[in-house]
Structure 1
């Protein structure tokens, strides 16, 4: 049978010396037989209370505080060393309450000692140790538990921060993989289908398309490796070339007007990845024949608009469009969409 919880150190055993002092006083100073018997018997009550208090958590420890205060009040006129019971009671206040409330209860115990001293005419060597050590030990223990709670809160906050950082990183990786591979795999599918249709009619053209598939696959592998190293986009110029090639393969004519202002690497990356996602959606879903792209500065903003003459309709934000919006809003920008006449995406980022 364990007397103390597993997370408790050995120091409570050392504090029992005060209980030994209480039990020995009737045998050191003049005392009657029944006073000695009562003092010895009260030790049998105090010991279980003492160890039980270490197992209690929160406000339940108040039961032990009350029991020790009752013992100190009842036995003070029999054994002047009963002041130790007030000290023991005060030592559990820090466990039971937050610091401010614990100090209020500690003040209540000190007031009770003062009242009993006045009513029962306790001797100085009873009430002075009771007041001094109850206040001292009680305050020290309250501060210890207060510091422990603050440390635990800090650790929980750190754990939550780490958890949120991991979630954000997983979301970032998911967005990057979608942006990097979604567009490229769409182009590979289109070119493979085209090569399959041309295999018998125009073997030379089919071979060219297959070589393009090989080239694009190698570029995709390079992009994934770059993303792992933290470089998620090859830049706007590269994305424009890739967009034109993907649209031409899908039979969509590109009308482009591009004159961007000077952008930071992060801003350029956001525009490049947004362009990639938008073109991928045009190729996959729009059923368009024309795609218009404009990228230019408008006042304090850099604006990019991608519009097509496809089927339009209500836009459902999947992983790609949602990731695009998150990136844009992270830079203080905004993303607008309209599916009434074809599909139009407009991105505005402050520069």
Structure 2
């Protein structure tokens, strides 16, 4: 069976084959006719053909059901032709051996064609089978006119077509649901990767700088070294708490806390910092976005810029981080942190603008 995207197979109910087998009851007449004429050779042939036809039809039903459990709407073309050829040959043997009573197989043959082939194929085949039943009932000597059988061929085909259409729609709904679930999982993975980059990138950068500073001060100023080590412990705990919040989906940040962290980080990196003393002018809906802006901007200044001075400016609709260095990565290509910040800005209806200064670099997030 075709399997879209190697999706896992759904569990099959145990009563499905039994339900399909119930409809084979209409083959009782050919079996009875063959049984009453035993031990004639044609009767044995008709009995074996009828039982084999029933088993083949039931096997086709189970195969189609198994394929649909894997969200496949139909077998490959070669399999369809093989199933149809097998049922057609067995039906022909039934008719040749048992006479008109063997035409009961035509209903099942029509249903199989409906289950296996598209509309443009099964419609003419079903009509041809119904017409053949009517014509042979009139033209073959000893046979009776059988409009009821022709009606059964058409009615059963229409009923199975309705069931098939419903099943195919259900398969499409399941596929769409699973695609949506996969997309949601991918978005969550992207969100988690972005947040971990933003959180750990900033925190580990500060921790590294403070560790280097503590190492340099170890033999010079023991008290300063103790203070730096205490800060390292505090920053590590903060980073752990931030990671837990990111994993749990709580991504809100505190703008005042980010400014305080930025001041500590810039001082540790021996970069002169000019930061706002108040965040009161920033509206509530922009505080989280501007906190991310400060975090990403300051992290890039410390990591990449080689700057001596850094300025953070806040306005009601604007946050800017600028420095007098060479900018992130030394070029205009945004890193994953800037990409994540761009996504957050777009989601909040704002825009991210980066530009080179003379000298320096500017990162601005501005509400539209």
TM-score between both structures, scaled by the size of structure 1:
0.79
1:311 equivalenced with 2:326 (yes/no)? yes
CA 1:261–1:78: 2 relative to 1, 3 Å: same
Q: Deviations over 1:157-205 (max 9, x none)?
A: 2222222222222222222222222211211221222222222222222
1:130-169 to structure 2, matched below 5 A, reads 130-169=149-188
1:91–1:137 CA contact under 8 A, matched in 2: yes
2:35–2:43 CA contact under 8 A, matched in 1: no
| Distance in 1 of aligned mates of 2:41 and 2:229 | 102
Match of 1:347, SS state, is strand
| Equivalence for 1:45 | 49
2:42–2:97 CA contact under 8 A, matched in 1: no
| Equivalence for 1:321 | 338
Give the alignment's Cα RMSD to 1 decimal: 3.5
| Equivalence for 2:305 | 286
1:79 aligns with one of 95, 99, 112: 99
| Distance in 1 of aligned mates of 2:320 and 2:242 | 25
Deviation at 1:268, TM superposition (A): 2.9
| Equivalence for 1:275 | 294
1:9 equivalenced with 2:17 (yes/no)? yes
CA 1:115–1:21: 2 relative to 1, 3 Å: closer
Q: Deviations over 1:291-327 (max 9, x none)?
A: 2333334xxxx33332221123314433322222222
Q: How many residues align?
A: 335
Deviation at 1:280, TM superposition (A): 0.6
| Distance in 2 of aligned mates of 1:137 and 1:62 | 21
Deviation at 1:89, TM superposition (A): 0.4
1:19 equivalenced with 2:27 (yes/no)? yes
1:259–1:295 CA contact under 8 A, matched in 2: no
Q: Deviations over 1:109-155 (max 9, x none)?
A: 3344445556558965x522321211222222222233222223322
| Distance in 2 of aligned mates of 1:229 and 1:77 | 72
Match of 1:131, SS state, is helix
CA 1:65–1:197: 2 relative to 1, 3 Å: closer
CA 1:86–1:309: 2 relative to 1, 3 Å: same
1:314–1:339 CA contact under 8 A, matched in 2: no
1:167-206 to structure 2, matched below 5 A, reads 167-206=186-225
TM-score between both structures, scaled by the size of structure 2:
0.76
CA 1:252–1:278: 2 relative to 1, 3 Å: same
1:199-348 to structure 2, matched below 5 A, reads 199-256=218-275, 260-264=281-285, 267-297=286-316, 302-312=317-327, 313-339=330-356, 341=358, 342-348=360-366
| Distance in 2 of aligned mates of 1:98 and 1:282 | 63
Deviation at 1:13, TM superposition (A): 3.8
Match of 1:345, SS state, is strand
| More displaced stretch, 74-83 vs 9-18 | 74-83
CA 1:234–1:15: 2 relative to 1, 3 Å: closer
| Distance in 2 of aligned mates of 1:335 and 1:104 | 62
Consecutive unaligned residues of structure 2, counting only runs of 5 or more, are 1-11, 64-74
Q: Deviations over 1:188-244 (max 9, x none)?
A: 221222222222222222222222222222322332333344332332121122112
Consecutive unaligned residues of structure 1, counting only runs of 5 or more, are none
| Distance in 2 of aligned mates of 1:17 and 1:63 | 24
| Equivalence for 1:90 | 110
CA 1:328–1:115: 2 relative to 1, 3 Å: farther
